[in-house]
Amino acid sequence: MFNNKTILITGGTGSFGKKFTEILLKRYKVKKVIIYSRDEFKQFNLKNLELYKKYSKNIRFFVGDVRDKERLVTATKNVDYIVHAAALKQVETSEYNPEEFIKTNIIGAMNIAQASIENKVKKVIALSTDKAVSPVNLYGATKLCSDKLFVASNDYYGGEKTQFSVVRYGNVLASRGSVVPFFKSINKNKEFPITDRKMTRFNITLDDAAQFVFNCFKVMQGREIFVPKIKSYKILDVLNAIVNKPKIKEIGIRSGEKISEEMISSSDSVCTSEFKDSYIIFPLNYLKSNVCKKFINKYNGKNVKPGFSYNSSNNKFLTIKEIKELINKV
């Protein structure tokens, strides 16, 4: 479906954007990939990579901010598909800079939706996070609002043909900002600060995250929040995968943190269906429609039990051996 198509990736210079672009260029004969980001230095560095040189005729670098609707309207002309990966993401930072997170994560989402409809983009997938479920920090709250905006955009802006869906997933182990680089930076003979020994998180690799988005593009009809079935990890197991018998100092959770994360809350169980490799959350009014019922039957879905929740603490866990293998691949 991506052959001879133009795909725009907001936040295209980030970890996910680079992985998604790599797969697009290697697997499909795309017409054009537009890398939309506000960091011209990262764009400059990407231009000098062999992959980007090889496909230079198929790549367009576009300096812009999702806060700037006019720039987005220009960038999305003649675009077929959009992956919206741009966001401000640091939890602790969001608590002290709320207006900046609102401008990027909420106003930016509105701008993407409006520009997509104005230019008749066919499909848009917005990336989300487990922190958008029952949020206790401002970052999660802005992403929850963003999710709601994209789902509502299927109907809110006059019933145009643009389809909007959301992909929600967990932490990417060993990525920038994760605990792995932090633990590796500490001398093995010193104490390792742990926020809470009971802390758990969902885990997904960049490859799996990108592939899941490709899969969602193929089946989406608009309005869905797609959630992959993935394993969790225990923070202590991550540390033990890096250091043998570490000295631990428990320091307590930071502002805006949870002991465990959710990707589906019990409140969402009434509108969630389970499939082979994923769950999908539908708007309740849409779930009752014949279109949605046909979709669920087509892909052998079934309704989850009332009260079901998808929580990182009651999930299947990665073993220490599996965590070591994932870290070594990075």
Query: Of residues 131, 143, 234, 258, which has the active-site annotation?
Result: 131
Closest to 175 measured CA to CA, from 318, 327, 44, 41:
327
Q: Does the annotation count 316 as an active-site position?
A: no
Residue tagged 């989406």 (tokens): 220
Residues marked active site are found at 131
